[in-house]
Chains A and B, each alone.
Chain A
Amino acid sequence: MNRLDISAARPTESVLSTNKLIKNTYILLSMTLLFSAVTAAASVMLNVPGWTYMASVIGALLLIWLVLPRTANSSMGLVVVFGITGLMGFGLGPILNMYLSMANGPQIVGTAMAGTGIIFLGLSGYALSSKRDFSFMGGFLVAGLLVVFMAILANLFIALPALQLAISAAVIMLMSGFILYDTSRMVNGGETNYIMATIGLYLNIYNIFIHLLSLLGALSGDD
Chain B
Amino acid sequence: MDWTKIIWAVVIVAMILVLWPRAKQMMKDTPKAEKGDWQAVVLPLAFVVGFVILLIMLV
Contacts and interface: CB of A to CB of B under 8 A. Distances in A.
Contact of B26 (A57, A58, A142): A142
Interface string B23-35: 1001111111110
A123 B7 contact: no
Contacts, number: 115
Interface residues of A, number: 51
- Give the most central of B11, B13, B37, B55: most A CB within 10 Å: B55
A145 B19 contact: yes
B44 A180 contact: yes
Contacts of A176: 44-45, 48
A142 B26 CA distance: 8
Contacts of A212: 52, 55
Contacts of B33: 136
B51 A118 contact: yes
Contacts of B27: 138-139, 142-143
A149 interface: yes
Interface residues of B, number: 39
A177 B41 contact: yes
A27 interface: no
Contact of B18 (A65, A126, A150, A156): A65
B5 A115 contact: no
B31 A119 contact: no
A115 B16 CA distance: 29
A127 B56 CA distance: 26
A173 B46 CA distance: 9
Contact of B37 (A136, A145, A146, A216): A136
B45 to A, nearest CB: 6
Given A118-B51, A176-B44, A145 B23 contact: yes
15 contacts: A50-B4, A111-B59, A138-B27, A139-B26, A139-B27, A139-B28, A139-B30, A143-B23, A145-B23, A156-B8, A157-B9, A169-B52, A173-B49, A212-B52, A216-B56
Given A51-B4, A146-B19, A157-B5, 20 more contacts: A2-B34, A58-B7, A61-B14, A61-B15, A104-B59, A111-B55, A112-B55, A115-B52, A134-B40, A134-B41, A136-B30, A137-B30, A138-B30, A143-B27, A149-B12, A152-B12, A153-B9, A156-B5, A219-B59, A220-B56
